[in-house]
Structure 1
C-alpha cells in the first residue's frame, strides 16, 4: 500500500472558530483524521474544495470531497466509538438528505452558542 493510499482523510475546518476546532479535535481523538485548518490548506487541497469552501467543514478522502453536513455525517461514520452507529443509522432514515444540510446550517449559524456549551464540557478522561 502506498503512502497516498494509507493517508487518513483530511478534515478541513475553520481554525479561527473555537467550536469548529473543538469539533475537529473531538473527531481526531476518536478516529483517524488529519486536521487541516483553512489557513493551512495547500494549493492542491484548495483546488479540490468548492469555491465557497469557507462556509463549512469538508472531508477530503482519496476518492471524494464531502462538504458541510455531508462531511460531518461521513466523519461520524468513521469514528471509532459507538457514536459511529448513530451516524450510520441516521443515513438509513428516509428524508435524511433533506434534513442534513438545514441541521448543519442551524448548528453552524449558532457556533457561538455551541462554543460556550462545549467550553464548559470537561475534557475527555485519559485512562
Structure 2
C-alpha cells in the first residue's frame, strides 16, 4: 500500500494547495479528495476528513493537520524533507499546529478559497 493524502475536494483553497503539491513535490502518495475516498478502508471518519488534511501511511497510521503536511514533505525528499522533519520537532511542531489551525479555520478567506469552504460539508452547494 502507498501512503494516501486525503484533502477536502470541495474547498478551493485545499484544491489549489493539492495542485501545487502535484506539480512541485515528488510524493509517492495517492492524493484523493475525501469525498471520493473509501474512508472506512483508510480508517478515518468523515468528521475528521472534513476537519483536517490527512496522511495515512503504509501501515495504516493516520496523521492530521500540520503533521500530515510534515509527513508529505518528508515523503517528497530533498529539499522538502528537511522542512518536514523540522515540523515534527517541538516547539516548531506546536507552532505549526497553531498555524495550520488558523489557516484551516479561515480557508474560505484565503486565495483560492470560496465561501463554501467555511460551511460544514453537508451544507456546501457542491456536496457530493
Where does 1:71-110 land on structure 2 (aligned, <5 Å)? 71-92=68-89, 94-110=90-106
Query: Which string of whole-angstrom CA distances, capped at 9 and with x for unpartnered residues, describes residues 95-122 of structure 1?
Result: 12322221111111221343249xxxxx
2:64 pairs with 1:67: yes
- In the TM superposition, structure 1's runs of 4+ consecutive aligned residues that sit over 3 Å from their partners are none
Distance 1:23 1:100 in 2: 16
Greater CA radius of gyration, 1 or 2?
1
The answer to whether the 8 Å contact 2:5/2:29 transfers is yes
2:31 pairs with 1:32: no
Q: 1:121 corresponds to which residue? A: none
For structure 1, the residue ranges without an aligned partner over 5 or more in a row are 118-127
For structure 2, the residue ranges without an aligned partner over 5 or more in a row are 114-128
How many residues of Structure 1 are paired with residues of Structure 2 in the alignment? 108
Greater RCO structure (CA 8 Å; 6+ sep): 2
The two structures, once aligned, show a CA RMSD in angstroms of: 2.2
Q: 1:122 corresponds to which residue? A: none
Question: How far is 1:51 from its partner?
Answer: 5.8
Q: When the two structures are superposed, what TM-score results if normalisation uses the length of structure 2?
A: 0.71
Distance 1:108 1:17 in 2: 10
The answer to whether the 8 Å contact 1:19/1:112 transfers is yes
